[in-house]
Amino acid sequence: MAASVSPEAATPIRIAFLTGRSDRARCGLSPEQLAFLDTLRAPGREAVDCNFPYAAPDTGHVAVPLPLAALRNLGDYIGARRPAFAARHRASVVAMLEGADHIVLLAGSCGLELLANLQLDADLHARLHVFAYGPVARRAPDVARLLCVQGRSDWISRVGWRGPVHRVESGHMDYLRQPEVRRLCEDFIAATPCAST
């Protein structure tokens, strides 16, 4: 009979955001992202308190006007298709993923497209469980599990993602404020296998 792993020895499930960059100089989470992440903290979970690309010259978060943020996110969406994108960002993403047997990525908007274009190794993809909210992507990356949540009034995601979705009441900028999204995310994380199983 195989020996079981004690809860103390189990590797925590790592939870991290992966979204487009509204501010290219910083990767700090917004107050809304931090608040959402705080609701997910629990024993056996390790929250990453910064966003893609998990390394930036400046720390913290500075609010960016919505039109500029949208333009920069569009730039990430288009720029992710170039080989230079993976070459520039793969190392910092891999460094964030190292040491965790299971990672839940909270992929907002173009985050799914960014992940699909990072050209991560298959062993990393096998450890990724992706909760995508308001996805905008041409294809889904090959990961352990994927749940795409799409708002009924999110026309950006409805145009930009053709894969299967779980529909919720939300617009493109409202997901993290929706109790249903938080419940779906909590259930998704709870169903993620941990190192002790």
CATH code for the domain in which residue 151 is found = 3.40.50.1820
Q: Which amino acid is at 57?
A: P
Say if CB 160 and CB 139 are below 8 A apart. no
Based on the structure, what is the number of domains in the chain? 1
What is the C-alpha separation between 52 and 4, in angstroms, rounded?
A: 35
Give a yes or no: residue 7 inside a domain: no
Residue 155 domain boundaries: 13-190
- The predicted model gives 44-62 an average pLDDT of 86
Helices (runs of H) and strands (runs of E) counted in the chain: 7, 6
Residue 5 lies in a domain: no
Alpha carbon distance 158, 33 (integer Å): 22
Select, from the ranges 28-32, 70-74, 98-102, 179-183, the one with the highest average predicted confidence (pLDDT): 179-183
Q: Are the C-beta atoms of residues 141 and 124 closer than 8 Å to each other?
A: no
In a domain, 174, yes or no: yes
Q: Is residue 196 part of a domain?
A: no
pLDDT at 76: 85
Q: Which residues pair with 16 in a beta bridge?
A: 105
Residue 109, pLDDT > 70, answer yes
Calpha distance 54→160 (Å, rounded) = 25
Instruction: Specify the DSSP element, H or E, that contains 188.
Output: helix 179-190
Residues pairing with 128 in the sheet = 103
3-state secondary structure (DSSP) of residue 193: coil
- The answer to whether residue 36 scores a pLDDT higher than 90 is yes
Mean pLDDT of all residues in 8-16: 81
Asked if residue 111 is part of any domain, the answer here is yes
Q: Is the pLDDT of residue 131 over 60?
A: yes
Asked if residue 186 belongs to a domain, the reply is yes
Q: Which residues pair with 38 in a beta bridge?
A: none
Provide the whole-model pTM: 0.90
Mean pLDDT of 43-47: 96
Burial of 173 (0-12, 13-18, 19+ CB in 10 A): middle
Closest CA to 80 of 57, 109, 58, 60: 109
Query: Using 50, 70 and 90 to split pLDDT, how confident is the model at 57?
Result: low
